[in-house]
Amino acid sequence: MKKKLMLLLLSLILVSLAAIALIIYLNPKAQFKTDAEIVGKKLHNFRITTLSGKSISLDDYKGKALIINIWDTKCPPCIAEFPGLIELYSEYKLQGLEILGLTKSLYEDEEGLKKFIKKYGLTYDIAIVDTRFLNRLGGVRGIPVSYIVDTKGILYKRHIGYRQKSVFEEDIKNILPPVYDETRDE
């Protein structure tokens, strides 16, 4: 009886190890880079297609401040960031702010994702990306994660985890050129 139990236990362990190895093989491990390795450096250029069918690259954002916000539909902290990002986009778009939302969309097909975007009122560009794409950005250990990119395509900051609107707003104010207010001259 003890031999059968030991064989069963050993078999379960081997099957578990094989399953873990298969998962690792099929899902490439994220190549996470520290902030010290990527902040202050130019991001790799990319070309992706948004859900609206528009082809975009990092070069398209030259001269603008860019927030690359990575999220998923089943992530409550990600969803909690949306209202602040929407407000920022509305308030700073004319001054040169762009936002690019990226998702791996693990739980939704493209139509489900479009419904989700409409439900939460996301008006900026959204694209579905894969692990390789995220690795080129510096890797993702958790979501939400936001990359703040300056007007020259240099990574200014990376925020891992939920952030309030005020955190992003401070970053944007630091990298956008100041707006001249003609009313101050009067």
pLDDT tens for each residue of 39-64: 888 988 899 999 999 999 999 999 99
Q: What's the pLDDT tens digit per position in 88-140?
A: 999 999 999 999 999 987 667 888 888 999 999 999 999 999 888 888 888 78
Q: For residue 183, is it within any domain?
A: no
Query: Is the pLDDT higher at 34 or at 176?
Result: 176
Q: How many domains does the chain have?
A: 2
Domain that holds residue 174: 31-178
Kind plus residue range of the DSSP H or E element containing 102: strand 97-103
Q: For residue 74, is it within any domain?
A: yes
Report the distance separating Cα 145 and Cα 139, nearest Å. 10
Judge if 15 and 72 occupy the same domain.
no
Residue 159 phi/psi, 5-degree rounding, is: -115, 120
Judge if 21 and 86 occupy the same domain.
no
- pLDDT score at 94: 94
Report the distance separating Cα 176 and Cα 35, nearest Å. 21
Q: For residue 186, is it within any domain?
A: no
Of 36, 43, 35, nearest in space to 61 by CA: 43
Q: For residue 114, is it within any domain?
A: yes
- pLDDT score at 172: 95
Judge if 14 and 99 occupy the same domain.
no
pTM (2 decimals)? 0.78
- pLDDT score at 27: 45
Judge if 90 and 14 occupy the same domain.
no
Judge if 79 and 165 occupy the same domain.
yes
Judge if 44 and 123 occupy the same domain.
yes
Judge if 62 and 22 occupy the same domain.
no
